[in-house]
Amino acid sequence: MPKEKSLEDLFLDTLKDIYYAEKRILKALPKMAKGAESPKLRKGFEKHLAQTEGHIERLEQVFKIFGQAPRGKKCDAIEGILAEGDEILKSFKGTAALDAGLISSAQAVEHYEITRYGTLRRWAELLGKRNAAALLERTLKEESETDEALNQIAEQANRSAEGGGRQAKPATRRGRATAAASGAGAAA
């Protein structure tokens, strides 16, 4: 019969997963920044690189709170998400759609991290580790802020991609109504 596993065992397993993921993200961000066409997106990736270093430091503090040495466990999810980002870099290099694709990949990473940090924070609270929960909450807040910043940058990147490199104008209410009435605004 297998050994009974506890919430703390699950917490530590998930902590190893996100620790591995953050280390992989730290390696991927410079490549994404270099590939970005938009200076604003490039700066966003560079800012998040510095934040990611802080995330790793906080995770190491959480390991210590739980009396564990920091150690990662291969995370297939982040490997897949980062592989998709690499594919976008290769397939869309030099096109108006590149930044929109990079943002899409970055947001997939952010959403993965947000789910992990939210879960870990809640479990730390349940396990009575308020200091760990506070550290995880701080990182969760930064990840959410990064996702929102990517949303803002995506507005321009998506318009550029839609226009095939031309500066597409944002749709007005009247323009959307006219397009919908003519059938041009039908959803894909």
pLDDT in tens, 137-169: 999 999 999 999 999 998 888 888 887 644 434
CA 70, CA 85: separation in Å to the nearest integer? 27
The fraction of the chain above a pLDDT of 70, given in percent, is 86
The residue-averaged pLDDT of 120-138 equals 98
Kindly list the structural domains of the chain, giving each domain's residue range(s) and its CATH number in brackets, ordered by start.
7-182 (1.20.1260.10)
Ranges of beta strands (E only) in the chain are none
CA 114, CA 165: separation in Å to the nearest integer? 32
pLDDT in tens, 70-92: 999 999 999 999 999 999 999 99
First-to-last alpha carbon distance for the chain, in angstroms, is 52
